[in-house]
Structure 1
Amino acid sequence: MNFTLTQGKFYDKHPVFLPWSQVLIKHNLKLLYRLKEIYIKKDLDKLGMKKGSSVLEVGSGQGIFLNRLSSYYNVIALGVDVSDDSIKYANKYCSDNNLKFIKASATNLPFKDKNFDTIVSFDTMEHVKNQNKMLSEIIRVLKQNGKFLVYTLNSKDDFTLDWFWAKIGFDIYKRAMHKRELFVDSHKMINDLKDMGIKSLKINYYGGLFTIGFDEILMVFLLVLGKLGLFKYDLLGEVIFYVLDKLSRIIYPAFNYLDSFWYKKGYSLGFSVSGTKE
């Protein structure tokens, strides 16, 4: 079984955990329930997506985040993923007149050249063996003067919280079928994009000790609520997400500042690279 097919089968059985997905869809990106969402939202705002413009997400999973994105920015969006079950779920629960999903590989996008105004990808590149091919495909189908944003895991994650977990023997990567050898070197990625002719590039690190700690405590809390069968109560989700949104917005600046001591050395759990095809 090839690597792409293996990834697809894994996420057929183990979709990304998202609590109260319909509540998240209802409030799109006006409601951000953890620190990583605030970080991603800040990067998205900088892309300047215009109403009615075309957006592609590479590795859209079950489509919940792309639904929130397309609704918030009022764009026409398309998501691609290698998981059959994720695409079926996305088309059943997340699609609408301005949002569709198809099965496709990140290294073989079934679109003509210069087709999209904006391309985004989150937590996907670290699952792809031929990462240069994925980047070249993104650049190929991006329109001239179009913008892209790619978030992935950092190979230089020394002294982050998940690095400490790994050191004491807790395999935090296996849960999402992560392979450390596929974690991305941020400087190599920048150089590869420059070799592809991309000049306007920005890098932004996320996740040291404090931000990851908050997000992981939060996810454990939500997992417990799920085990208790509470996700069927949407009103409870509304209340919890409202509180978490307010709390996350308050503490994000301080926690991200504390983690900046990692970022200055290029250490982080993940990073995003954005750029313009000129």
Structure 2
Amino acid sequence: MGDLELRRAYGEGDLAALPVFAGGFINFGYWAGIPLDGELTVEQRVASQRALYDLVVDALGVGPGDRVLEVGSGRGVGARRVLLRGPALVRGVDLMPEQVARAARANDDPRVAFVRGSCDDLPFPDGSFDALLSVEAAQHFEDVAAFTRESARVLGPGGRLAVTTFFTRTGDAGARLAGVLETFATGLDQAHRVDDVVRDLRAAGLADVRADGIGEHVWRGLDRWLAQGPRPDGWDRNWLPAFERGLLDYYLVTARKPAGSGV
């Protein structure tokens, strides 16, 4: 059911075109510094999504000369934002061929390219990248452990990883989330426990693994945006209540491949 829902959302459909999102991004946004006591503008919505990417790129320390991979690159808007840091190249990989095509059509920078591939079978040689990011995509991954192993494989020694999305806090949260959020009920989103993600990254050989909850700067801004619209009919407003009930949170997860490890 999950694969079918992914195709509906990102293949046959184009989630980024929905009013709840803006600017070609598909993320809930990082709303720190954006006032939430008045009417929100589309420009502020786009700014929140850019800010989420900037948070991740800052955590990675992307700079000139870096080779960067984005897993779950969508329309490629975020990958092109990474270019502002001056990397040598950026590659985006996405499971949906329609998304790869959309990203390729919008791209005019020779440093960026997009390819079709799976998070658990990345189409790149060992040690190809200095930094790897994934922004609000890992909640769709069927096998997070395989993703962590593949990430460790394609990173060179000293390479950095940063993943941001929503993960569950407890092992029994999945069934409870399915009762309050449609995306969990349909299988579009998977209930991955954050402690398991941390464990899998360490098991893959990565070091300095940490998961920082950033939900205070995500859920309230998202809920304020959804409250005023525009949003698709029936778009869930249960994200903030799910967070307040301790079922999930939004995390920035970072790790590093030890410098002495093999390619």
TM-score scaled by length of structure 2: 0.71
Matching of residues 213-228 of structure 1 within 5 Å: 213-218=220-225, 221=228, 223=230
* Separation (CA, whole Å) in 2 of partners of 1:217 and 1:176: 25
* Separation (CA, whole Å) in 2 of partners of 1:127 and 1:61: 13
User: Could you tell me which of 61, 65, 74 is aligned with 2:86?
Assistant: 74
Alpha-carbon shift at residue 83 of structure 1 (Å) = 1.0
Pair 1:59–1:211, CA change in 2 (3 A)? closer
Task: Indicate if the aligned counterparts of 2:59 and 2:162 stay in contact, CA closer than 8 A.
Answer: no
Identity, % of aligned positions: 20
Pair 1:268–1:223, CA change in 2 (3 A)? same
Can you give the 5+ residue segments of structure 1 that lack an aligned partner in the other structure? 23-30, 228-258
Alpha-carbon shift at residue 87 of structure 1 (Å) = 0.7
Alpha-carbon shift at residue 175 of structure 1 (Å) = 10
**What secondary structure, in the 3-state scheme, does the structure 1 residue paired with 2:198 have?**
helix
Summarize deviations over 1:174-224 as a string: whole Å, max 9, x none: 699634xx222111211222222222112111225x741322332565636
- Is 1:16 aligned with 2:15? yes
- Is 1:277 aligned with 2:257? yes
Pair 1:216–1:37, CA change in 2 (3 A)? farther
Question: In the alignment, what sits opposite 2:36?
Answer: none
**What secondary structure, in the 3-state scheme, does the structure 1 residue paired with 2:225 have?**
helix
Question: In the alignment, what sits opposite 1:204?
Answer: 212
Can you give the 5+ residue segments of structure 2 that lack an aligned partner in the other structure? 26-42, 234-239, 259-263
Pair 1:157–1:185, CA change in 2 (3 A)? closer
Pair 1:271–1:137, CA change in 2 (3 A)? same
Matching of residues 22-61 of structure 1 within 5 Å: 33-35=46-48, 37-61=50-74
Task: Indicate if the aligned counterparts of 2:94 and 2:118 stay in contact, CA closer than 8 A.
Answer: yes
- Is 1:195 aligned with 2:203? yes
Alpha-carbon shift at residue 91 of structure 1 (Å) = 0.3
Question: In the alignment, what sits opposite 1:129?
Answer: 142
- Is 1:183 aligned with 2:191? yes
Letter in structure 2 aligned against 1:223: P
Aligned residue-pair number: 225
Task: Indicate if the aligned counterparts of 2:184 and 2:191 stay in contact, CA closer than 8 A.
Answer: no
* Separation (CA, whole Å) in 2 of partners of 1:5 and 1:170: 21
Question: In the alignment, what sits opposite 1:138?
Answer: 151
Alpha-carbon shift at residue 266 of structure 1 (Å) = 7.5
Alpha-carbon shift at residue 34 of structure 1 (Å) = 4.9
Letter in structure 1 aligned against 2:213: Y
Query: When you count helix as a share of all residues, which structure comes out higher?
Result: 1
Task: Indicate if the aligned counterparts of 2:70 and 2:92 stay in contact, CA closer than 8 A.
Answer: yes
Summarize deviations over 1:199-251 as a string: whole Å, max 9, x none: 2112111225x741322332565636x99xxxxxxxxxxxxxxxxxxxxxxxx
* Separation (CA, whole Å) in 1 of partners of 2:47 and 2:188: 22
Letter in structure 2 aligned against 1:173: T
Letter in structure 1 aligned against 2:22: P
Letter in structure 1 aligned against 2:188: H
Alpha-carbon shift at residue 38 of structure 1 (Å) = 3.0
Please provide the CA RMSD for this pair.
3.6
Task: Indicate if the aligned counterparts of 2:158 and 2:257 stay in contact, CA closer than 8 A.
Answer: yes
Pair 1:222–1:13, CA change in 2 (3 A)? farther
Summarize deviations over 1:2-38 as a string: whole Å, max 9, x none: 965763454112323242449xxxxxxxx87454643
* Separation (CA, whole Å) in 2 of partners of 1:66 and 1:58: 10
